[in-house]
């Protein structure tokens, strides 16, 4: 088993790297007890779930099995957890309501998308990547990030952004979703088990920026100071 894992890591180092990099922010949150803060607790839960899903997908990929179903399932969970952080950070009630309203709509839409893309849900072997959900998720997340940045520079509440953990988390998410937004719809057509379409470097860009975002999360968590962390 270990041999297949090592073999996969050697064959696909760029794809494997973020799976293990998940551990870095998780350990930092644990060590600094940053989970005492509500926002970082959500990030902690998100990272733990992400690690679980990534490990399962890594196991299936290393054994040459279709793991797309886990990816499809993780999209609404990932969206709800990451946007939840913005729900806490927004001061405006209206913006909070927008985030809240987006959850049931997006979950329902991604479920419809998964069923629409895979009419035969029991056929795990030929399961396809969802067609719209990942793109819509990226658009929504980019919107929340931009709205948060806009509010930040308007309100002038944070004296030093570089020592503010959520700024780093936002930057990480912004880079990841920016790298993914144009590639996400292509994956539906490219990542088919029996008709694999090689998209070359494009396949690796989201993984590279996933690793970058995890490193930025870690930098942000390293800035966390128990008493000084203020909304």
Of the pair 69, 140, the CB lying nearest another protein is at: 140
Least distance from another protein to the Cβ atom of residue 148, Å: 10
Of the pair 15, 174, the CB lying nearest another protein is at: 174
Least distance from another protein to the Cβ atom of residue 160, Å: 9
Cβ contact 106:137 at 8 Å: yes
What is d(CA 105, CA 26) in angstroms, rounded to the nearest whole number?
29
Residue written as tokens 């952004």? 161
Cβ contact 39:89 at 8 Å: yes
Residues 124-183 that bind another protein (CB under 8 A): 146, 149, 152-153, 156, 158-159, 161-162, 167, 171, 174-175, 178-179, 181-183
Size of the site for another protein (CB under 8 A): 26
* Interface residue with another protein, options 122, 195, 201, 228 (CB under 8 A): 201
Quick count: other Cβ atoms within 10 Å of Cβ 82? 22
Q: Which stretch binds another protein (CB under 8 A): 6-14, 81-89, 122-130, 192-200?
A: 192-200
Cβ contact 29:47 at 8 Å: yes
119 counts as binding another protein under rule CB under 8 A: no
* Interface residue with another protein, options 14, 49, 139, 205 (CB under 8 A): 205
231 counts as binding another protein under rule CB under 8 A: no
Residues sharing a CB contact under 8 Å with residue 31, sequence separation 6 or more, in sequence order = none
Tokens of 53: 């899903």
Of the pair 17, 175, the CB lying nearest another protein is at: 175
Sign (positive or negative) of CA dihedral 192, 198, 199, 204 = positive
What is d(CA 1, CA 189) in angstroms, rounded to the nearest whole number?
31
Tokens of 85: 């952080």
Of the pair 160, 228, the CB lying nearest another protein is at: 160
Note the residues at the interface with another protein (CB under 8 A): 146, 149, 152-153, 156, 158-159, 161-162, 167, 171, 174-175, 178-179, 181-183, 186, 197, 199-202, 205, 209
């Amino acid at each position: 088993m270990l041999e297949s894992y090592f073999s996969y890591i050697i064959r696909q180092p760029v794809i494997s790297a973020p799976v293990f990099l998940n551990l870095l922010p998780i350990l930092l949150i644990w060590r600094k007890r940053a989970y005492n803060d509500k926002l970082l607790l959500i990030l902690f839960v998100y990272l733990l779930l992400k690690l679980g899903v990534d490990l399962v997908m890594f196991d299936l990929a290393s054994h040459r099995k279709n793991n797309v179903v886990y990816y499809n399932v993780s999209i609404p969970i990932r969206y709800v957890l990451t946007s939840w952080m913005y729900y806490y950070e927004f001061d405006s009630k209206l913006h909070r309501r927008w985030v809240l309203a987006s959850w049931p709509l997006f979950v329902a839409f991604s479920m419809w998308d998964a069923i629409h893309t895979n009419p035969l849900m029991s056929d795990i072997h030929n399961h396809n990547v969802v067609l719209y959900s990942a793109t819509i998720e990226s658009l929504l997340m980019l919107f929340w990030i931009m709205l948060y940045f806009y509010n930040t520079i308007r309100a002038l509440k944070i004296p030093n952004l570089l020592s503010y953990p959520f700024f780093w988390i936002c930057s990480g998410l912004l880079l990841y979703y920016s790298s993914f937004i144009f590639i996400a719809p292509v994956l539906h057509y490219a990542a088919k088990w029996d008709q694999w379409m090689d998209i070359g470097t494009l396949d690796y860009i989201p993984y590279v920026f996933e690793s970058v975002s995890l490193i930025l999360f870690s930098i942000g968590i390293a800035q966390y100071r128990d008493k000084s962390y203020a909304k």
